[in-house]
Amino acid sequence: MRLLLDTHVWLWATLGPIGKLGRVGADALSDPGNELWLSPVSLWELIVLSAKRRVTLDMEATSWIQKALAELPCSDAPFTSAVALATSEVELDHKDPADRFLAATARAFDLTLATADRQLLNGKGFRTLKIG
């Protein structure tokens, strides 16, 4: 399976506690047959959360991100024109632009969005895997 990690899933996998992932999440992330993907939107979200002190890191955010990417390698799911166009093809019950970009990224790159976010799990036009 080709999994696009929602920002919180990526953080749970790297910051712990691993129990937040649940059995499905832990199995999916540790399965060598699965490809893990990450959007630059998630990196941006972490930088913003860190600056607002909603997430505490043990080092400056950009250094932490580089370390985390080395420890849990993920393929880059870039923000492309195909992703921008796919934002009109996904349906969400809320207007969070980061979630819309993640859903559109999953659609554009034929990925399954691994998330615990109910609003994303209830979205349409993209595949999800319930984590946690």
Domains and CATH numbers, the chain: 2-130 (3.40.50.1010)
List pLDDT tens digits, range 12-26: 998 876 678 999 999
- CA-CA-CA-CA torsion sign (88, 42, 77, 10): negative
- Proportion of the chain above pLDDT 90, given as a percent: 83
List pLDDT tens digits, range 88-116: 999 999 889 999 999 999 999 999 999 99
Can you give the pLDDT at residue 16? Answer: 72
> Of 98, 99, 131, which is closest to residue 115 (Cα–Cα)?
131
- E strand segments, the chain: 2-5, 35-38, 75-76, 112-115, 127-130
